[in-house]
């Protein structure tokens, strides 16, 4: 009885933290929405719906999960995933495998929340397979509290088969970052599409390292690696955007903007390579302070300088 009560209390607490990270708690009450809730190494809730199968195994410091979407299934509502650590200290390792069947269409909305973190380490190691003609959207939002005590290491290895499409967005724009080391690599087959977007806002002594690589291996594959980073105070950011055009008529683009304030440091390393004469890969990277004309335009509407900077940065990170 007391164990049930304890789990119920923890579920409520993690859902409350999930809400703070931008999630909508009501999704966990709907039987029509697939969901998975994990606190530290405990699976607190899992809801399967027809066409999607989720298996989760508890490990000493995390979980191992397999999420499989049957071929041809088109899920009406996004699948909601919630991962979190509520204590001030702890380690959470999530080893996940996503298998999106041929022709399936699915969207995932993941929230990772560590609201009280003083010394929390979160490792996310994913293997993702997007089948032929399948479509996968994956949006992950983080909330790490206000004390900067979180280390987050998200890693994904993604394979997109012929005609498949993979869209990923990583957001860490509310609260402190702590230390982030994101490492995504996507291999795209013929006629496939991959878009990786990473957004983060660091301050204090936060440290942000984003590595996004898209390898366009199949004919007419397309890819975009986009990052939007803002750093202020003594934060540091480093973005490595890689796009390879390895097959005929592939099209790729790396797009990086970093805004720097105060004593912060930002580095961008775009790397593009082409291994076929008909491939075309471009890059643009802009690092600097807030655009002066934008700033003065907003100030001429009555906003203070700080308010104007806030509008510009939030626009860049939120849009």
Partner 1 sequence: MGEILRVQDLWLEREGREILRRVSLVVEEGTVHCLLGRNGSGKSTLAYALIGSGGYRPSRGSILFYGQEITDLSITERAKLGITLAWQEPARFEGVKVKDYIALGMKEPSLPRIEESLRAVALSPSEYLNRYVDESLSGGERKRIELAAVYAMHPKLAILDEPDSGIDVLSLEDIARLIRRMASEGITVLLITHRDEMVPVADVASLICGGEIIRTGDPKVVREHYARRCIPCELAEPVESEEDYERYV
Q: 């869209």: which residue's tokens? A: 167
Q: Which stretch binds partner 1 (CB under 8 A): 27-35, 93-101, 113-121, 309-317?
A: 309-317
Closest CB to partner 1 among residues 285, 303: 303
Among residues 205, 297, 309, 310, the one that binds partner 1 under rule CB under 8 A: 297
The rounded distance, in Å, linking the Cα atoms of 119 and 235 is 18
Q: Please list every residue from 241 through 280 that binds partner 1, using CB under 8 A.
A: 257
The rounded distance, in Å, linking the Cα atoms of 150 and 71 is 37
87: contact with partner 1 by CB under 8 A: no
Q: At its nearest, how many Å lie between partner 1 and the CB of residue 161?
A: 31
Among residues 43, 91, 174, 311, the one that binds partner 1 under rule CB under 8 A: 311
> What does the block give as tokens for 23?
């999630």
Q: Which stretch binds partner 1 (CB under 8 A): 8-16, 78-86, 102-110, 289-297?
A: 289-297
Closest CB to partner 1 among residues 1, 300: 300
Q: Which stretch binds partner 1 (CB under 8 A): 62-70, 132-140, 201-209, 295-303?
A: 295-303
Q: Which stretch binds partner 1 (CB under 8 A): 7-15, 97-105, 148-156, 302-310?
A: 302-310
Q: Are strands 52-59 and 62-69 parallel, antiparallel or unpaired?
A: antiparallel
294: contact with partner 1 by CB under 8 A: yes
Q: Which stretch binds partner 1 (CB under 8 A): 101-109, 118-126, 190-198, 293-301?
A: 293-301
Among residues 3, 31, 60, 292, the one that binds partner 1 under rule CB under 8 A: 292
By CB under 8 A, how many residues form the interface with partner 1?
A: 24
> What does the block give as tokens for 88?
């001030």
Q: Which stretch binds partner 1 (CB under 8 A): 26-34, 203-211, 229-237, 303-311?
A: 303-311
Q: At its nearest, how many Å lie between partner 1 and the CB of residue 196?
A: 18
56, 139, 289, 301 from 309: Cα distances, Å: 43, 26, 10, 13
The rounded distance, in Å, linking the Cα atoms of 180 and 171 is 11
Q: Which helix (H) or strand (E) holds 308?
A: helix 305-318
Q: At its nearest, how many Å lie between partner 1 and the CB of residue 237?
A: 17
Q: At its nearest, how many Å lie between partner 1 and the CB of residue 217?
A: 30
Q: State the Rg of the chain over Cα.
A: 20
DSSP string for residues in 148-217: --EEEEEEEEEEE-TT-EEEEEEEEEES---EEEEEEEEEE-TT-EEEEEEEEEE-TT-EEEEEEEEEE-
Are 303 and 273 contacting, i.e. CB atoms less than 8 angstroms apart? no
Q: At its nearest, how many Å lie between partner 1 and the CB of residue 169?
A: 13
5: contact with partner 1 by CB under 8 A: no
2: contact with partner 1 by CB under 8 A: no
Among residues 54, 86, 216, 317, the one that binds partner 1 under rule CB under 8 A: 317
Nearest to 135 by CA among 161, 108, 104, 168: 104
State the number of CA atoms in the 13 A half-sphere of 230 facing the CB. 21
CB atoms within 10 A of CB 122: 26
Q: Which helix (H) or strand (E) holds 145?
A: none
Among residues 55, 57, 284, 291, the one that binds partner 1 under rule CB under 8 A: 291
Q: Please list every residue from 195 through 234 that binds partner 1, using CB under 8 A.
A: 228
Interacting residues toward partner 1 by CB under 8 A: 228, 257, 291-294, 296-305, 311-312, 314-319
């Amino acid at each position: 009885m007391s164990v049930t009560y304890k789990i119920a209390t923890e579920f409520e607490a993690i859902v409350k933290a999930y809400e703070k990270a931008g999630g909508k708690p009501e999704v966990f009450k709907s039987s029509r929405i697939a969901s998975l809730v994990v606190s530290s190494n405990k699976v607190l809730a899992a809801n399967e719906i027809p066409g999607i199968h989720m298996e989760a195994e508890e490990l000493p410091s995390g979980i191992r999960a397999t999420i499989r979407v049957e071929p041809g299934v088109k899920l009406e509502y996004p699948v909601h995933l919630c991962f979190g650590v509520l204590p001030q200290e702890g380690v959470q390792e999530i080893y996940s495998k996503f298998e999106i069947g041929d022709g399936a269409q699915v969207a995932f909305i993941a929230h990772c929340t560590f609201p009280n973190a003083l010394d929390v380490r979160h490792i996310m190691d994913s293997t993702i397979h997007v089948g032929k003609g399948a479509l996968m959207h994956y949006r992950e939002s983080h909330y790490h509290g206000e004390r900067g005590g979180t280390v987050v290491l998200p890693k994904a290895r993604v394979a997109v088969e012929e005609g498949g499409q993979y869209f990923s967005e990583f957001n860490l724009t509310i609260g402190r970052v702590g230390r982030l080391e994101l490492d995504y690599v996507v291999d795209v087959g013929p006629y496939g599409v991959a878009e990786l977007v990473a957004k983060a806002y660091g301050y204090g002594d936060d440290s942000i390292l984003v590595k996004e690589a898209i390898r366009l291996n199949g004919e007419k594959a397309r890819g975009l690696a986009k990052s939007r980073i803002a750093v202020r105070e003594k934060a540091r950011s480093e973005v490595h955007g890689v796009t390879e055009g390895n097959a005929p008529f592939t099209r790729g683009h790396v797009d990086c903007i970093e805004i720097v304030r105060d004593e912060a440091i930002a580095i961008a390393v775009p790397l593009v390579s082409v291994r076929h004469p008909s491939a075309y890969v471009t890059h643009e990277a802009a690092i600097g302070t807030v655009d002066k004309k934008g700033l003065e335009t907003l100030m001429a509407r009555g906003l203070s300088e700080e308010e104007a900077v806030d509008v510009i940065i939030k626009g860049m990170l939120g849009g």
